[in-house]
Structure 1
């Protein structure tokens, strides 16, 4: 057993990572409850999308909790799997909302393409984590920059980038189409919240992953993620309290 110490920036990363994950799960729990009430498939897909969109931050948040109790870091394999397994689920779930609404005739093709890409991703992931000579091969998976943060490499990084690009482009299209619905103020407001959500998430994810973080920038990017989860939930559900706030019937 090797006890480790976390520097201030790592602890800050873990704390704000945990808060960001809990915010997403809070909204996810509300959506799941609504799904059990209504049995609407779109709500279940949205539940999966909202909780697994934050998957890359699971290891940071959960790793911090683990460290608080044990003063140890998560095993490398556990860290990588926590941070990557949910991303294909989030992307496929979002497509089950986006494609039927905007491109129903292309739904099966788009789903098949992303599904095949996801299978390739999982094969690559498990091979280099568990089965390749010298596994885990961190050079093609990810190199930890601290006990609770990692820089992904190889096809892992490529897949995460593709997922971010696809979700940002499709999310903006979905939002813009909603903004153009003239006879429904509710739909237009949903579009406003969603366009904020998708773009804040992209900014936060890129900043968090590719910019050298300081305490200030880390807090800013993680707060952007929390706002993104909040506006994602509001934009999709538009709860009663928000309708009242906006004077919508």
Structure 2
């Protein structure tokens, strides 16, 4: 039985002489692995097909799906959105690769989550169109909102009564906790603000210097590590920090 679904490519590895296995986050089925035949053949018909399965690519697909199998098959595919800037702009490409790697580390279960899919799809589209300030702030926004979709939304908000963000508990509290996993002061205030943003355009109004953005990116990665078992090391984070500096 075939199904029509959108998907965002997360990872691709070579398979056999001419094919690939693509890990895709799909709208209908969550994380799935697909065998895509013939995309590495040196023929005119296959030329350029490998580009469809670059990490971050957004596709419309017709797929075969069997709940009992770990590997599925793609019958048809086409672009659902074709980037204008992400593939050619160094900063935007670094942000896109950070988002994709964050998903690789964070999505441990195959279950579908349409709201998460729409967040990923919309974030990548907005990245493609965004200004420099928007682009620089987007990784912070996406990391916190991804955490919310995965079940650890920050509780409360920054105030005089709750000026400390306990990263282990995921909540704003009155006193510094007995462990080192927390944010306070300006870092806690900014995190509260970013967490409560509802519209992408509001990211334009958050002026951050290099040091604060670096501190927040490291803290948010640590937040993910605390809440996702075997999260692992983000290889794209140092690259992103270097590019944003």
Q: Same fold (TM over 0.5)?
A: no
TM-score by length of 2: 0.30
TM-score by length of 1: 0.30
| Structure (1 or 2) with the greater strand fraction | 2
Bigger relative CO (Cα 8 Å, ≥ 6 apart): 1
